Amino acid sequence: MGPISSLIPMPEWLDLLIALLIGIGFGFSLEQAGFSSSRKLAGMFYGYDTTVIKVFFTAAIVALVGSQFLSYFGLLNLNLVFVNEFYVAASIVGGIIMGAGFIMGGFCPGTGLCALSIGKIDAMIFFLGGLTGAFLFAETYPFIQKLANGSYKGPVKINEVMGISPGLFTFLLIIAAAAMFWLAEIAEKRFARPDITNEI
Amino acid sequence: MKNKYMNPYVAGTMLGIVLLLAMFLAGRGLGASGGFKYCVVSIVGAVDHSHADKSIYYSKYFEGGKKPLKNWLTIEILGVIAGGFLSGAISKRLKFKIEKSPSISNTRRLIFAFLGGVFFVYGAQLARGCTSGAALSGMAVLSVAGFVTMVAIFGSAYLFAWFFRKNWV
């Protein structure tokens, strides 16, 4: 039963080979989706291109449904899959800072890497900014340690907080995603910017 | 004529399968900003090792002779660059260019790209993950942190979109 990495003692080279292959699949998917274009990504926040929400929620739902099926058939032990730990303040404040960075730079870290790989110079500069951001975080860490490590809740799951099964939550999420996709189509018509979308 | 992008739902499905594979093979999700961190940790370690040893932040990445460059996330982001390049080559999108709205200068675009990088990765270190590691991968394992981070990132970007509209529309 998976994850494979906890099933067999994996030599380091194999672990890192998996990392490389997963990364290649990740970068390939992002680029095919058009996430190597900052103007396409930014369209999400002005309504003229809503690819971001479609790709993002489709991917999350595929992985969510897939992992639950694998678990149901005894192929994947979900207790051994990493669940992000919840630090309330750090998640919210960090998320707000990230959103500001998103609209300024037009990339997130993953899409920035993907864009620099096809030669986008703005993405290369975004990458340098990203390294600077990580450096600033490390250097300012002693001052923000409290915020970073405060209000710790552990690796809590959303369906448990709501008191429902993972399956029911997934079902509700699919309905919510379908509603968002429908709204996204409306937004793309209402805020259409052919001058931008024909260029990107 | 460049090739068109893939249908978003097809690309999303492909991305979801990659994420599922990461969960199945390695018991973890996807990541990006963590790779930035390990690059910086390695650089600081190479340039000023005593600073890294003294710092409560850097020192934990060198404990017991660990090498931050030989890390899952560092290798994974190398893969992201390779995969993006491969896709760009297949779809004939390889080209050096600064992408921006015609109404702003190259300098302005690059200054904001740099600032965006600084903000995004700073926030990602605080929230312990970015759009990939916290929001997408977090949602796929139903973590509250994932959903909260996702709402915070998108909510904040919508909020700030008005101030930066000149850069994009």
Rounded Cα distance between B24 and A168, Å, is 22
Of B37, B76, B28, B30, give the one whose Cα is nearest residue B60.
B37
Alpha carbon distance B31, B9 (integer Å): 21
The per-residue pLDDT for A97 is 98
Tell me the pLDDT tens digit for each residue of B101-131: 999 999 999 999 999 999 999 999 999 999 9
Give the closest-approach CA distance of A53 to chain B in angstroms.
Answer: 9
**pLDDT of A6 higher than 90:** no
Ordered by start, the domain boundaries in chain A are 11-190
What dihedral do alpha carbons B31, B34, B36, B37 form, nearest 10°?
180
d(CA B126, CA A149): 9
Question: Encoding tokens for residue A169?
Answer: 């939550």
Once rounded to an integer, what is the mean pLDDT over residues A100-120? 98
Helix (H), strand (E) at residue B34: helix B33-47
SS3 of residue A86 by DSSP: strand
Q: Which one-letter DSSP state was computed for residue A47?
A: S
CB-CB under 8 Å, B149 with A91: yes
**pLDDT band, residue A118 (cuts 50/70/90):** very high
* Tokens found for residue B6: 């893939």
- pLDDT, tens digit (0-9, with 9 covering 90-100), for B128-149: 999 999 999 999 999 999 999 9
Nearest CB neighbour to A19, from listed B75, B127, B158: B75
User: CB within 8 A of A159, min separation 6: which ones?
Assistant: A165, A166, A168, A169, B142
With a CB cutoff of 8 Å and minimum separation 6, the contacts of B112 are A104, A105, A106, B164, B167
CA distance A70 to chain B (A): 9
Contact residues on chain B for A112, CB-CB shorter than 8 A: 32, 117, 120
User: A138 and B120 in contact by Cβ < 8 A?
Assistant: no
Tokens for B17, please give them: 């399968």
Beta bridge partners of B97: A120
Q: Provide the pLDDT for residue A5.
A: 87
Question: Residues of B with CB below 8 A from A25's CB?
Answer: 14, 17-18, 21, 79, 83
CA torsion A160-A164-A169-A171 (nearest 10°) is: 160
Angle at A98 between CA A97 and CA A104, to 5 degrees: 95
pLDDT band at B153 (very low <50, low <70, confident <90, very high): very high
Interface of A with B in 93-112 (CB under 8 A): 93-112
From CA A12, how far away is CA A172, in angstroms rounded?
40
DSSP one-letter code for A73: T
Q: How far apart are CA A53 and CA A55, in angstroms?
A: 6
For B115, the closest chain A residue by CA position comes to: A129
Confidence of residue B2 (pLDDT cuts 50, 70, 90): low
Structure tokens at B67: 């090498």
| Helix axes of A12-33 and B72-90: crossing angle, nearest 10 degrees | 40
Contact B88, B3 (CB under 8 A): no
The least confident of A4-18, A25-39, A182-196, B82-96 is A4-18
A10: pLDDT strictly greater than 90: no
Contacts of A198 (CB under 8 A, 6+ apart): none
Which parts of chain A are beta strand (E)? 86-87, 152-154
pLDDT value at position B168?
A: 96
Chain B: give the shortest CA distance to residue A175, in Å: 15
A189 min Cα distance to partner chain B (Å): 15
Q: Within 10 A of B119 (CB to CB), how many other CB atoms are there?
A: 25
Whether A188 has its CB under 8 Å from any CB of chain B: the answer is: no
Q: Kindly tell me if the per-residue pLDDT of A8 is higher than 90.
A: no
DSSP assignment of A154-193 equals ES-BHHHHHT--HHHHHHHHHHHHHHHHHHHHHHHHHT--
In this predicted structure, which of A6-15, A99-108, A125-134 has the lowest mean pLDDT? A6-15
Structure tokens at B157: 């970007």
For testing contact with chain A, the best of B99, B108, B147 (most A CBs within 10 A)? B99
Asked if residue A68 lies in contact with residue A167, where contact means CB atoms within 8 angstroms, the answer is yes
Please give the Cα distance from B25 to B27 (Å, whole number): 6
User: Using CB atoms and an 8 Å cut-off, which of residues 139-168 of chain A contact chain B?
Assistant: 139, 141-142, 144-145, 147-148, 153, 155-159, 161, 166
Q: How confident is the model at residue B67 (pLDDT cuts 50, 70, 90)?
A: confident
How many angstroms separate the CA atoms of B123 and B130, rounded? 8
- pLDDT of res. B1: 44
Contact call for residues B65 and A89 (beta carbons, < 8 A): no
pLDDT band, very low/low/confident/very high, at B69 (cuts 50, 70, 90): confident
Q: pLDDT tens digit string along B81-93?
A: 999 999 999 999 9
Which residues contact residue A15 at a Cβ distance below 8 angstroms, ignoring those fewer than 6 apart? A5, B26, B72
Which chain B residues are closer than 8 Å to A24 by Cβ? Answer: 79-80, 82-83, 86
Short-list A33, A44, A41, A8, CA closest to A191 = A44
Q: Identify which of A2, A117, A129 has the shortest CB distance to residue B84.
A: A117
